[in-house]
Amino acid sequence: MHIWQANNAGGARSASLSARLSAIAESLPRGGVVCDVGSDHGALPLFLLENGWCRHAIVTDLNPEPLARAKAALTSAGIAHKAQFFLTDGILDVISLSPDTFVIAGMGGETIAGILSRALDRIPLNTGFVLQPMSRAHLLRKFLYENGFSVEGEQAIGENGKVFLIFRARFDGVRRERDPEFYLVGEYLSQTKGEGASLYFEKRLAKVRSKIVGKEKAGFDVSLEKKEEALYLSQLEAINENS
Ligand SMILES: C[S@@+](CC[C@H](N)C(=O)[O-])C[C@H]1O[C@@H](n2cnc3c(N)ncnc32)[C@H](O)[C@@H]1O
């Protein structure tokens, strides 16, 4: 069983990043080559290079303005020579540079799954991924398990009333089929300590309960939603027991 291990127990060195980006930085292996896909502001590669947490960064974005923002941030910090910049969609054009880890953060779960799906037959075995979906995490989880990614950890990070899931995965080509309920919760969040995971399931619970109220009013069957509600309650119970 893998429990999420932060690289930096104190987290002090990543204080200049948001809690979300900090958790992403801390989950990366030190000293490697990182590809930040959809980098935008460039805060992550800036932090990693300035602090020597990675030796080289590949910085990409689909759109010219965000890529220019990232390039400007690294240039004004005097570290652009440690990075390469690519205006490109997803990871296909940079896969041959063989980064140790791809970070794909701040996009919808389906967008992230789409990026991975389009490159699936070219991803080298053992490539690492740190993925942070802004929505539809269950769809990304299903995609990962069923398409050859070994999910090594999941973490929930609360920040300003929001909660962000972060997946750590490695491509090993082994497809894993799980049941639909599994994809709603995964295997790690209920074992994590801290408030993030409970906040995450409390939010899921509130959402499914409001769906139940709406559907019951309209006279629809709510048996699936009731199952989902019970699932989230059991996760919250497990988290309470572990804390
Ligand atoms: C909300 S920003 C996230 C920035 C940063 N990764 C973060 O987590 O803070 C999303 C960025 O992803 C870029 N993006 C969206 N789809 C993309 C794709 N298919 N390939 C590369 N970049 C993409 C957008 O242009 C935008 O700059």
My answer on whether 73 and 152 are in the same domain is yes
In a domain, 4, yes or no: no
Q: 16 falls in which pLDDT band (50, 70, 90)?
A: confident
Cα separation, 61 vs 69, whole angstroms: 10
Q: pTM, whole model, 2 decimals? A: 0.93
Q: Do the strands 162-171 and 128-133 form a parallel or antiparallel pair, or are they unpaired?
A: antiparallel
My answer on whether 238 and 180 are in the same domain is no
Q: How far, in Å, from the CA of 238 to the mean position of ligand 1?
A: 34
Q: Which atom of ligand 1 lies nearest, measured to the CA of 103?
A: 6
Q: What is the pLDDT of residue 10?
A: 36
Provide the residue range defining the domain that includes 87. Answer: 12-185
In a domain, 1, yes or no: no
What is the edge-to-edge ordering of all strands in the sheet holding 128-133?
Answer: 83-87, 54-61, 32-37, 101-107, 128-133, 162-171, 149-159
For the segment 149-153, the average pLDDT, to the nearest whole number, is 98
Q: What is the pLDDT of residue 193?
A: 77
To test the pocket of ligand 1, the residue of 18, 63, 95, 117 to mutate (highest count of ligand atoms within 8 Å of its CB) is 63
My answer on whether 86 and 171 are in the same domain is yes
In a domain, 89, yes or no: yes
Q: Which atom of ligand 1 lies nearest, measured to the CA of 132?
A: 8
For the segment 165-170, the average pLDDT, to the nearest whole number, is 98
Q: How far, in Å, from the CA of 44 to the mean position of ligand 1?
A: 12
User: Which residue's CA lies nearest to atom 2 of ligand 1?
Assistant: 106
My answer on whether 52 and 161 are in the same domain is yes
Task: Say whether 220 sits in a helix, a strand or coil.
Answer: coil
Q: How far, in Å, from the CA of 182 to the mean position of ligand 1?
A: 28
* Final residue in a domain of this structure, among 140, 155, 185: 185
Q: 1 falls in which pLDDT band (50, 70, 90)?
A: very low
Q: How far, in Å, from the CA of 38 to the mean position of ligand 1?
A: 3
To test the pocket of ligand 1, the residue of 61, 95, 132 to mutate (highest count of ligand atoms within 8 Å of its CB) is 61
Tell me: the pLDDT tens digits for 40-76?
999 999 999 999 999 999 999 999 999 999 999 999 9
In a domain, 230, yes or no: yes
Q: What is the pLDDT of residue 192?
A: 83
Q: What is the pLDDT of residue 242?
A: 82
Residue 5 has pLDDT above 60, yes or no: no
My answer on whether 128 and 32 are in the same domain is yes
Residue 102 has pLDDT above 60, yes or no: yes
Query: Phi-psi category of 98—alpha, beta or left, where left has phi over 0 and alpha has psi -120 to 50?
Result: left
Ligand 1 interacting residues, C-beta cut-off 6 A: 37-40, 60-63, 66, 89-90, 105-107, 111, 115
- Sequence-distant (6+) residues with CB within 8 A of 49 are 57, 74, 77, 79, 82, 83
Chain mean pLDDT for the chain:
93
